[in-house]
């Protein structure tokens, strides 16, 4: 469903943008375009790009969360 993909990708783009994760934001924007344009031939590659970019972001987020947990103890 293009509208759902577009909405989810737009939301993700905003969330990762909060952390200045430009690669993840660009990947989410690509998914957003897939949903908007209905270019389903690009969907798998766009999804793989998001998965890889978010995967690279996760260690930094985990480190940030662990530091915040230590600081609040």
Give the pTM.
Answer: 0.83
pLDDT at 73: 57
For 24-48, give one letter per residue: b (16+ CB within 10 A) or e. Answer: bbebbbbbbbbbeeeeeeebeebbe
**pLDDT band at residue 67 under the 50/70/90 scheme:** confident
pLDDT in tens, 43-57: 999 999 999 999 999
Q: 3, 7, 11: which is closest to 54 by C-alpha?
A: 11
- Residue 34 tokens, joined: 């897939």
């Amino acid at each position: 469903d293009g509208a759902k993909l577009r909405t989810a990708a737009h939301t993700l783009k905003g969330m990762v943008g909060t952390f200045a994760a430009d690669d993840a934001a660009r990947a989410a924007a690509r998914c957003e375009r897939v949903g908007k344009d209905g270019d389903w031939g690009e969907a798998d590659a766009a999804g793989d790009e998001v998965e890889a970019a978010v995967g690279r972001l996760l260690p930094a987020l985990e480190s940030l969360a662990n530091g915040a947990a230590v600081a609040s103890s």
